Amino acid sequence: MSAGVIRMLPVIIFFVVLLGLGFYIQRTSADSKAENFSKEYYIGGRSLGGFVLAMTLVATYSSVSSFLSGPGVAWNVGYGWVYYASTQVVAAFIVLGILGKKMAVVGRKVDAVTVIDLIRARYDDKVATLLAIVIIVFFTTTMIGQFIGGAQIFSKAMGIGYVTALIVFAVVVILYTSVGGFNAVAITDTACAMVMLVGMFALGFSILKAGGGLHSVTTKINQIADDYVASGGTKGSNMTSPFGEIGNADGGTPYIPLPLYITQWMLCGICTMGLPQSTVRCLSYKNSHAVHRAMVYGTIVVGAMMVGMHMLGVWSRAVLPSIPEGATTDTVVPTLIANYMHPLVAGITIVGPLAATMSTISSLLIAGSSAIVKDLYLHHKEATNQEIDQKKVATLSISITFLMGIVAVVFSIKPPSIIVWINMFSFGGLQTSFFWVMLFGLFWKKANSTGAFLGSLGGLAAYCITMAAGIKISTFHNILIGIVVALILFIIGNNFGKPLDEEKAKIFFPEQEPAA
Amino acid sequence: MDKMSYRDKFIQMNKEAKATWIIAFIIIAYWFISGFGVYKMAPKAMILNMPAWFVLSCFGSWILSMVLVGIITKTVFKDFNLDDDDEEVTK
């Protein structure tokens, strides 16, 4: 067998397994789907155990950037970038520990299938519709970004054309997601998380082997930093400094100044709690034991991946001292895989970043579809008292999921610059519009619909406008502006409009009601 | 599995959320001290031939997170029915 075929083998096996899981789950869940299709299809009938909950949360969260762009930057900047990425160790437990259980309890009480259902129950239709649209827009653009990233790695590693790579890999993820629904997404996410870990260890092993062992690798990194200092900050980069100074004529500029670290704790730490692709998982687990265990497992895995992958990026500098002129640091990991690995190991390793991409896309796809079908269409039917036929809902849900995927793929073939542009705001934009709505919705009785609407819309606008116009406060990331503006507008809005009515207060804040 | 009224569950969940906030802030504080703090005091110190500030902050924060999450899920967090089946039992 040629090296190309051997390299292809693990990827093909992986794709077949994912598809198999999707179709298998579709068959096993047929009975419960006949009863309540949306609940089964969009949150898997609230059946996730602790392990799968942790894995699907982490796999969704870790995307193509954690496996490609992040380690690439670490290759250039050094240990500082690992430090920067390590803020994400809180990402798994914080959403489950703070929002997780309340969402599960209230979600059961009001029979919420989506995050928007819960928001509708807490606030009003206006807030729910606004945020459903935010989800649809940002999820679609993020998916396109992930499709592009995934197809790039796939085509580079396999030596096939970009469009072919895109179509093969997109068909797999769209098929298993649309056919299998949320349970298929959760189970395949778990498989993806496992493969990501395996890929990471294979990559680490190859780097250490090619670099002549840990001591030799780290000595080379230290040497680069020493050379930087010896050159007076004009050459190379200070790889052992937390600020990751990059050499230039001015005597070096910190790549990661302190303010950026502070906002990183918001963007990739605390505020990840707002991300709807994470919070929807709080509606899907089966019992309190599951969520406790998921907090522990999730923290173990997210830390291993974030610290591990970025550290490998630093180490790879010892093996790959330079990249061709004009190439971006995104090419570092694919180059390593292509040049320093046995074809079979390369095939296994390349599945890692592909898995990271697929697990993110699948979750966005199923949640995006739920926003269209459940939050907009079915809600409209319920509101106008029309009858709901479960069979029709089934066909519609599967078709919308499928179509949404296809639309994203079509845009990925030749991405319009507007989409690439919107995608830049999507991660922070989702956080800005959802963070206070979720947190205040569950923990602050005074929070009302006017505040939520004003805060979300105003915060999002402030974030996007300042991002687009390049307005910055010092070197802080603009998430700071978005979150602060959202908070201020939320509080101002709360002084207008109606306070929470008694019916809702009994559901969301029973502890603040007089004891029965 | 503890039997709790709907109201008691919320009192419990507020405690759990508070504990999560507290450990998050402990981790952030540790992260700053072990990273920037150690770098400031001993920029040249090495562990396993890697900068000491890096090893202590990145691996340290990760290990600390696992330990603290382990502790709160064992002590503060309580198992209870997420549905309100046993509502009337406790009243």
- From chain A residues 213-232, the ones with a CB under 8 A of any chain B CB are 214-215, 218-219, 221-222
Q: In the prediction, which pLDDT does A64 show?
A: 81
Contacts of A105 in chain B (CB under 8 A): 6, 9-10, 13, 82, 84
How far apart CA A413 and CA B22 sit, in angstroms, is 46
Question: ipTM score here?
Answer: 0.94
Q: Does A223 have pLDDT greater than 60?
A: yes
SS3 A359: helix
Q: What's the pLDDT band for A397 if we cut at 50, 70, 90?
A: very high
SS3 B48: coil
| Identity of the residue in A83, A93, A101 whose CB atom sits nearest the CB atom of B58 | A83
- What is the arithmetic mean of pLDDT over A175-189? 94
The secondary structure element, H or E, covering residue A87 is none
How far apart CA A95 and CA A45 sit, in angstroms, is 21
**Count of CB pairs separated by less than 8 Å, A with B:** 132
Q: What is the mean pLDDT of chain A?
A: 93
Q: Do A510 and B16 touch (CB under 8 A)?
A: no
User: Longest C-alpha distance within chain B, in Å?
Assistant: 64
- From chain B residues 32-91, the ones with a CB under 8 A of any chain A CB are 35-36, 39, 43, 46, 48-51, 53-54, 57-59, 61-62, 65-66, 69-70, 72-73, 77-84, 91
Contacts of B34 in chain A (CB under 8 A): none
Q: In the prediction, which pLDDT does A446 show?
A: 94
For A278-315, letters b (16+ CB in 10 Å) and e give bbbbbbbbbbbebbbbbbbbbbbbbbbbbbbbbbbbbb
Q: What's the pLDDT band for A388 if we cut at 50, 70, 90?
A: confident
Q: How many CA atoms lie within 13 A of A492 on its CB side?
A: 11
Please calculate the CA angle A317-A319-A323 and round it to the nearest 5 degrees: 60
CATH architecture of A3-414: Up-down Bundle (1.20)
pTM attached to this predicted model: 0.94
Q: What's the pLDDT band for B87 if we cut at 50, 70, 90?
A: low
Contacts of A307 in chain B (CB under 8 A): 58-59, 62
Q: Do A289 and B17 touch (CB under 8 A)?
A: no
Say if CB A493 and CB A445 are below 8 A apart: no
Q: Is A104 on the interface with B (CB under 8 A)?
A: yes
Q: Do A270 and B91 touch (CB under 8 A)?
A: no
Distance of CA A115 to the CA centre of its chain: 16
| Identity of the residue in B62, B72, B77 whose CB atom sits nearest the CB atom of A89 | B62
How far apart CA B56 and CA B32 sit, in angstroms, is 11
- What is the arithmetic mean of pLDDT over A277-299? 96
How far apart CA A52 and CA A187 sit, in angstroms, is 7
How far apart CA A99 and CA A57 sit, in angstroms, is 14
Q: In the prediction, which pLDDT does B86 show?
A: 54
**Looking at this protein, which amino acid is placed at residue A316?**
S
**Looking at this protein, which amino acid is placed at residue A429?**
G
pLDDT in tens, A137-150: 999 999 999 999 88
How far apart CA A20 and CA A41 sit, in angstroms, is 17
Q: Which two tokens stand for residue A157?
A: 């590693």
Selected for mutation to probe chain B from A46, A53, A79, A272 (highest B CB count within 10 Å) is A79
Radius of gyration over alpha carbons of chain B, in Å? 20
State the CB neighbour count (10 A cutoff) for residue B46.
14
Say if CB A278 and CB A57 are below 8 A apart: yes
Q: Does A208 have pLDDT greater than 50?
A: yes
- Distance set, CA A243 to CA A83, A258, A368, A449, B87 (Å): 9, 8, 38, 42, 54
Q: Where are the domains of chain B?
A: 6-90
Say if CB A283 and CB A39 are below 8 A apart: no
Q: Kindly tell me the burial class for residue A260, based on how many C-beta atoms sit within 10 Å of its own C-beta (0-12, 13-18, 19 or more).
A: middle
How far apart CA A286 and CA A264 sit, in angstroms, is 32
Q: In the prediction, which pLDDT does A515 show?
A: 65
Q: Between β-strands A245-246 and A253-254, what pairing exists: parallel, antiparallel or unpaired?
A: antiparallel
- What is the arithmetic mean of pLDDT over B44-70? 97
Q: In the prediction, which pLDDT does B70 show?
A: 98
Q: Alpha helices, DSSP H only, in A159-287?
A: 162-211, 214-230, 258-267, 276-279
Q: Which two tokens stand for residue A372?
A: 């269209």
SS3 A113: coil
Q: Does A97 have pLDDT greater than 60?
A: yes
Chain A closest CA to B21's CA: distance in Å?
A: 7
| Identity of the residue in B17, B48, B62 whose CB atom sits nearest the CB atom of A303 | B62
Q: Does B13 have pLDDT greater than 90?
A: yes
- What is the arithmetic mean of pLDDT over A50-54? 96
Q: Does B85 have pLDDT greater than 70?
A: no
pLDDT in tens, A239-257: 999 999 999 998 899 999 9
Residue entry with tokens 């390349």? A350
Q: Do A240 and B51 touch (CB under 8 A)?
A: yes
Residue A327, sorted as left (phi over 0), alpha (psi -120 to 50) or beta, turns out to be beta
State the CB neighbour count (10 A cutoff) for residue A235.
14
Q: Does B90 have pLDDT greater than 60?
A: no
Q: What's the pLDDT band for A28 if we cut at 50, 70, 90?
A: confident
Q: Which two tokens stand for residue B25?
A: 């802030």
Q: What's the pLDDT band for B42 if we cut at 50, 70, 90?
A: very high
Distance of CA A516 to the CA centre of its chain: 43
Give the bridge partners for B47, in sequence order.
B50
Give the bridge partners for A245, in sequence order.
A254
State the CB neighbour count (10 A cutoff) for residue A197.
17
Q: In the prediction, which pLDDT does A209 show?
A: 94
CA-nearest residue of chain B to A257? B36
Chain B closest CA to A206's CA: distance in Å?
A: 19
Selected for mutation to probe chain B from A43, A46, A48, A83 (highest B CB count within 10 Å) is A83
State the CB neighbour count (10 A cutoff) for residue A395.
11
Q: What's the pLDDT band for B89 if we cut at 50, 70, 90?
A: very low
Q: In the prediction, which pLDDT does B44 show?
A: 92
| Identity of the residue in B36, B49, B82 whose CB atom sits nearest the CB atom of A288 | B82
Q: Do B13 and A101 touch (CB under 8 A)?
A: yes
CA-nearest residue of chain A to B18? A98
Contacts of B40 in chain A (CB under 8 A): none
- What is the arithmetic mean of pLDDT over B28-32? 98
Q: Does B91 have pLDDT greater than 50?
A: no
Q: Do A105 and B66 touch (CB under 8 A)?
A: no
Q: How many CA atoms lie within 13 A of A167 on its CB side?
A: 6
Question: Of all residues in chain A, what percent carry a pLDDT higher than 90?
Answer: 78
Chain A closest CA to B48's CA: distance in Å?
A: 8
Q: Does A81 have pLDDT greater than 70?
A: yes
pLDDT in tens, A425-481: 899 999 999 999 999 999 999 999 999 999 999 999 999 999 999 999 999 999 999
Q: What are phi and psi of A117, to 5 degrees?
A: -55, -45
